[in-house]
Amino acid sequence: MASTLVQLRSRVQADLDLEDETFITDSDINAWINEAIKKAEAEVHTLYEDYFLSESTITLSAGTKLYDYPSDIYGNKIRKLIFQDGSGSSSHEVKRVRNLVNASDRDIYLTGSSHHLEWTPYNDATNGRKIRIFPESGRSGTLRVWYIRNAKQLSSDTDVCDIDEFERYILQSTKTECYFKDGDPRAIQSKQLEEQLKQDMINTLSNMVPDNNDEIPMDLSFYDDTIDSSEIGE
């Protein structure tokens, strides 16, 4: 069962006898827990990012061309976009623009209400990161977004850790930071255990990735048209 922030912090304090400690504060422990979550998240995204595959919807309006990404998206990683018109009578995949010249022409010449939509990542100084829809006349309806999200950062005591399979690593990483701040010689041993738990986490994630012998192969077709914008120019 996934733990809340207060439960994770309390476990660290109980294990290290820090309940009455003033040198290491609750805020310190909270920050180290969230830093450990970020480190675990990096391994997940590297080895099996489908762990964070999520779905959201955006309401589209005719005449609007710029839309916000989902608030918890990781690195603008959109897997697939599906448009459905307001009546629910038609839908189509919104493919990523491959030719911006042609897409710009669509802005000029397509002004109706039944055209297929395309998209491209967009980022200017005024609007920031956006999903840019072509043609700019747009359509009314719903955009279903499949994307890779961030791991949840825990800000309030009731927030729940959403990578609970790796809580042992998160706890041990936090304990290591406590030891180092306190100048405790057990920090080295704690760091070694942390690295062992990290390797266990890596092994678990590696085993989640389907291999070529699986009866149901992973469907990667959506990669063809939805390339992470952060990869462009690398």
Domain ranges of the chain: 5-49+151-217, 51-150+222-231
Amino acid at 200: D
Beta bridge partners, 141, equal 60, 85
State how beta strands 118-124 and 128-134 pair.
Answer: antiparallel
pLDDT in tens, 57-69: 999 999 899 999 9
pTM equals 0.80
Provide the Cα torsion 118, 122, 128, 131; round to 10°.
20
227 pLDDT more than 60: no
Contact 145, 58 (CB under 8 A): yes
pLDDT in tens, 65-88: 999 999 999 999 999 999 999 877
CA distance 170 to 185: 20
